[in-house]
Amino acid sequence: MSAIAALIDWPEDSLTEWRLALWTSAELAEATGGLASDEFEVSGVEIDSRDVVEGDLFFALKGEVMDGHRFLDSAFRNGAVAAVVDRKVNYPHILVPDTFEALQALATARRAAIAATACVIGVTGSVGKTSVKEALFAALDRSSHGRAHRSVKSYNNHVGVPLSLARTPTGSHFGVFEMGMNHAGEIAALTRQVRPHVALITTIAPAHIENLGSEAAIADAKAEIFEGLEPGGTAVIPADGPHFRRLADAARRAGANVVSFGRSSEADVRLLDAVMAPGGGSLVTADMGDRRLCYTVAAPGEHWVTNSLAVMAAVRAAGGDLGAAGLALAELEGLKGRGARHTITAGSGKALLIDESYNANPASMAATLAQLGATPARRRIAVLGAMKELGEHGPQFHAELAGPLAAAGADYALLVGDEMTALADELGKSAGGALGKVIPFAHCRSTAEAIEALSAWGLEDGDVLLVKGSNSVGLGQLVAALTLGQG
């Protein structure tokens, strides 16, 4: 059957088998070992009362500072059907000794429930894991006619992963779950919950190097994802870079089949050619061993070419449709904070805003600045926020951004955060030198100062503005200020 015919041919199973209730009260009580106060059904699971919608189950989690039980009234005003609580309340509820342990138990129960029907994919990496997770979901959801599930946003920690599992519909054919970490041992715990059939590592870069000490230690921490692989599972790993052998050895020790992707001549999914597509993006030709694929990637940048190879490798390992994956990549738009593009008013004309405000590390900074340089523009303006969790390596990594900034042809740089002092010092050195030209810049301590500085500098018709930094810097506020009221 051709890819087009496969997309047209609707699955034989009836849509009525795709039940509306995510959980019943009886199922919740059995999974958590709790006591149900009433009979009810829920269509969603939420931990933040502000995000609750009609039909949700609200988990009243307790942290070091906040107690979710304080927000029960808000959750039920927003439409919650019931709550999971550790004390009796005057709302429909499941009473448990510990709400966090109940969430983990619910995740375990749902993972067991989909064991016979769903292929589960786990995604981690230093750069691009959320974007690749979304691309994988789009590809698999298209080929399964809506039977794919994934973790939303960046729900990739000890709370987000079990929450994402608990939200998985029982009729899912695919589940895509992102896993993140700040310290060694964290991914090992998460992958044993997810139990993936396919484990994908996007890349290894010095993110969180402050906590782990070296890139080799980061590679080892990411390789923990293989520890939860189901028997006969597949490890999808980057062939390019110095850590390929380390990752491959870890995968084989876990009993995994290894599939590599990248530009290396030894890669199992190998890039043959990539040319810029009209309107941005790339036309990609890849060798998969027994076949060649030609497809379009809508997202611009060389890093997205590599991301697409990872997606194709994982889709094939999961038994998905490669034709559907190609169509999904051709339509995939940038995510908020991770490459979303906005046309904004600039003087009497329009400017392009590239929103990369959610995350930053040395590798992603260099890749995104290269993307800025490849984007046609009257002027190129880079708003760069500090990169966090680099420890003693921070000043060096920040100063080294001067090279990619110059290579991008930046006409102006706005640096935000104390850590950017090292880059400011580098840019402030005598004109010329290794940079080839003076790049006018301003160094701001806060996002509020940056908004004022950018306003004073002014945007003009034809400008391209890149905004990138670690999420804690708050550059999303600058993006919001610039896009407010825009179409």
What is the distance between the alpha carbons of residues 96 and 318, in angstroms, rounded to a whole number?
36
Q: Is 127 among the annotated ligand-binding positions?
A: yes
What is the distance between the alpha carbons of residues 178 and 208, in angstroms, rounded to a whole number?
17
The token pair at 22 is 């995510």
Q: Is 368 among the annotated ligand-binding positions?
A: no
The token pair at 469 is 């930094």
Between strands 412-416 and 441-444, the pairing is: parallel
Q: Is 468 among the annotated ligand-binding positions?
A: no
Half-sphere exposure (Cβ direction) of 215: Cα atoms closer than 13 Å: 16
Find out whether 212 and 240 touch, Cβ atoms under 8 Å: no
Integer-rounded Cα radius of gyration of the chain: 24
**How far, CA to CA in Å, does 232 sit from each of 120, 123, 228, 468?**
13, 17, 11, 40
Q: Is 458 among the annotated ligand-binding positions?
A: no
Q: Is 131 among the annotated ligand-binding positions?
A: yes
What is the distance between the alpha carbons of residues 232 and 220, in angstroms, rounded to a whole number?
21
DSSP per-residue string spanning 416-463: ESGGGHHHHHHHTSSSSGGGSS---EEEESSHHHHHHHHHHH---TT-
What is the distance between the alpha carbons of residues 231 and 270, in angstroms, rounded to a whole number?
26
Q: Is 180 among the annotated ligand-binding positions?
A: no
| φ/ψ (deg, to 5) at 421 | -60, -40
What is the distance between the alpha carbons of residues 450 and 478, in angstroms, rounded to a whole number?
8
| φ/ψ (deg, to 5) at 67 | -125, 115
What is the distance between the alpha carbons of residues 183 and 158, in angstroms, rounded to a whole number?
12
Q: Helix or strand or coil: residue 465?
A: strand
Q: Is 259 among the annotated ligand-binding positions?
A: no
Q: Which residues are annotated as a binding site?
A: 125-131
Q: Which residues are annotated as a binding site for ATP?
A: 125-131
